[in-house]
Amino acid sequence: MKLHVTMPDLTETIVSFDELLQKKPYTVLYFYPKDKTSGCTIQANEYTELYDAFAQKDTQIIGVSKDPHKSHCGFISKESISFPLISDTEQLLHNDDRFGVWVEKSMYGRKYMGTVRSAFLLSESWEVLKDWRNVKARWNAKVVLDYITWL
């Protein structure tokens, strides 16, 4: 599966998911609804603040949303995000059986399709070692890091 990844240096790279996962023994893949929204900004900032602690545990962080490369560039630049963001505009990862985060949601009685904020700890071979589904933006990064610390 080829993915469009926006790197912290604001370049767009097209790589396979396998290539991304082989950079470190562990990967935190977290899905968020939309760049530059309040909750997604809180979550990205917390992962950025803990970036070095994750690196010390041989773990890379990758964020995923439906937003395009240009939106990711603005988000990375404005928030100084220190990890790559995947532009999953066609929901290939969102709909992957391992993740399944593109679901029907409801707000004020209106039904719509959207991303469930979730995080997954993956091995180099795509194995989901742990998942956190329907999480709150605040403290998600800390909860994931605490789990990795006890591995």
Catalytic positions, written as ranges: 40
Instruction: Write down the residue that tokens 């760049």 correspond to.
Output: 35
> CB within 8 A of 137, min separation 6: which ones?
32, 38, 39, 40, 42, 43, 46, 117
* Burial (Cβ within 10 Å: 0-12, 13-18, ≥19) of residue 96: middle
Q: What share of the chain is helix, strand, coil (3-state, %, to 5)?
A: 30, 30, 40
Alpha-carbon distance 123 to 118, whole Å?
17
Among 104, 100, 69, 99, smallest CA distance to 86 is for 69
